[in-house]
Amino acid sequence: MSMNIIESEIPHLVEAKTCGFNKRGKRVSYQFIESSHNLCLEKGELLLAQIQACERLLKYGMDHEEISILRNEITKLRLALDLLRY
């Protein structure tokens, strides 16, 4: 017996948003697009999905502050992913 794996119609796992207007400034938050994925991701897969979500959001950056926050977040996520791989 063989098992067929069906890919989701949604090509991305995670969506990124900038939010927060307190003393600490804006932050990046993440949301799973499909709830079924939040139970079966490895750390590396989750970090990669977050990087991709930030890169998509970066294309629509509204101001210099938001673009800077997203670039900083991408840098931190890539560093974490590199550390996880080694």
Per-residue confidence (pLDDT) for residue 1, from 0 to 100: 43
Residue 19 confidence (pLDDT):
85
Q: Is residue 5 part of a domain?
A: no
- Cα distances from 51 to residues 11, 20, 21, 78, in angstroms, run 14, 20, 22, 7
For residue 6, the 8-state DSSP code is P
Judge whether 52 lies within some domain: yes
In a domain? residue 27: yes
Number of domains in the chain: 1
| CA gap 33, 56 in Å, rounded | 14
Residue 8 confidence (pLDDT)? 47
Residue 78: domain span = 14-85
- Reading the block at residue 65, the tokens are 């502050």
pLDDT tens digits for range 12-34? 788 999 887 666 778 889 888 87
Nearest residue to 51 (alpha-carbon basis) of 8, 15, 10, 7: 15
